Amino acid sequence: MLVTGKTSVYGIIGDPVEHSLSPVIQNSAFEKLGMDCVYVPFRVATSALGVAVRGLRSQGVIGFNVTVPHKTEIIKYLDKLDLIAKNVGAINTVKIAQNKLVGYNTDTTGVVEALKTNGISPGDNTFTILGAGGAAKAIAYALIESTPRLTVLNRTFEKARGLKRNLMRRSGKEIKIDSLTKRNLERELLKTDVLINATSIGMKGNLGKIPIEDNLPQDLVVFDIVYDRCDTELVRQAKRSGCRTIRGTEMLLYQAAAAFELWTGVKAPVDTMRDSLVSFEFSR
Ligand code: ATR
């Protein structure tokens, strides 16, 4: 890839950001389509978020992704939110056009596409989501309209209550919440087709463990949105139990494809993006 004075710049802000696979995915797409664009990581501390966002705007960056811990905090620096992002209350994609910053949430598309690609229709399955942070909010919002049953379990019950309040106000649909304990999770799994881990357990630096039995029901599908070079502990455990599993790279891929299309107006080369992820993971 040749970067020149005319190259358009895209990027991702987060802290940490070194682990992000988004530069690999997005640059593979630009290269495949012969676009004169580059996607770079920017490590931005929370205390510098406002200055960084102003800098991205003034330097003519066209679009950027937003990751932990800025997904909610960044909202106050944006000019406008798309309706889905507003309803979710968290954003992961910003487009800058005519000097205006518009926030979007493509995690919602990401989770639905990842499920569909793996043969799971949200309308025909019941879901239990673990977590009530930014990622969990987007997933719950994406599923609530179609699924017949949605449960959210979170370590901090108050946060699950906040998620429920917001979601019911937006959709009018019922959602069950509880605290994340082994007993509650076991009880929910009896009524769950697909379990989605949207906590940060399994990420580097998080030593927490999901309170779950060693043997999971064999007909359960386990989707861990946390991605790592190898399978997370939850995915390994699910495989040992004979469950079908979906890795976090699937959601990463489809949220990236949706962001690419928002920025460029061009159909994302998803197969190329997927191949780049796989070969990068193997090369490390
Ligand atoms: P993200 O934007 O990636 O969703 P977040 O908003 O910080 O990140 O949310 C992290 C989620 O992981 C929260 O639901 C958090 O639970 P709390 O609300 O109780 O903090 C959950 N989480 C993180 N570490 C955990 C652990 N060790 N055990 C249980 N839940 C954990």
For 134-152, write each residue's pLDDT tens digit. Answer: 999 999 999 999 999 999 9
Confidence of residue 64 (pLDDT cuts 50, 70, 90): very high
Query: Which one is catalytic: 32, 71, 116, 209?
Result: 71
Say whether pLDDT at 32 is over 90: yes
Q: Which atom of ligand 1 is nearest to the CA of 90?
A: 2
Phi first, then psi, for residue 43 (nearest 5°) are: -85, 120
14: amino acid identity, one letter: G
Q: What is the mean pLDDT of residues 178-195?
A: 97
Which residues on neighbouring strands pair with residue 176, listed in sequence order? 151
Respond yes or no: is residue 71 known to be catalytic.
Answer: yes
The structure's pTM equals 0.94
Q: What is the mean pLDDT of residues 242-255?
A: 97
pLDDT at site 284: 74
66-110: pLDDT as tens digits: 998 999 999 999 999 999 999 999 999 999 999 999 999 999 999
Nearest Cα residue to atom 3 of ligand 1: 135
pLDDT at site 282: 77
Q: What is the mean pLDDT of residues 33-56?
A: 98
Confidence of residue 1 (pLDDT cuts 50, 70, 90): confident
Q: Which atom of ligand 1 is nearest to the CA of 156?
A: 19
Residues with beta carbon inside 6 Å of ligand 1? 68, 71, 131-136, 154-156, 159, 180, 198-201, 206, 208
Is-contact 113 86, C-beta < 8 A? Answer: no
Q: Which atom of ligand 1 is nearest to the CA of 68?
A: 2
Mutate to test the pocket of ligand 1, among 199, 232, 252 (most ligand atoms within 8 A of CB): 199
Cα radius of gyration (the chain): 19
Mean pLDDT, all residues of the chain: 95
Pairing of strands 100-104, 127-130: unpaired
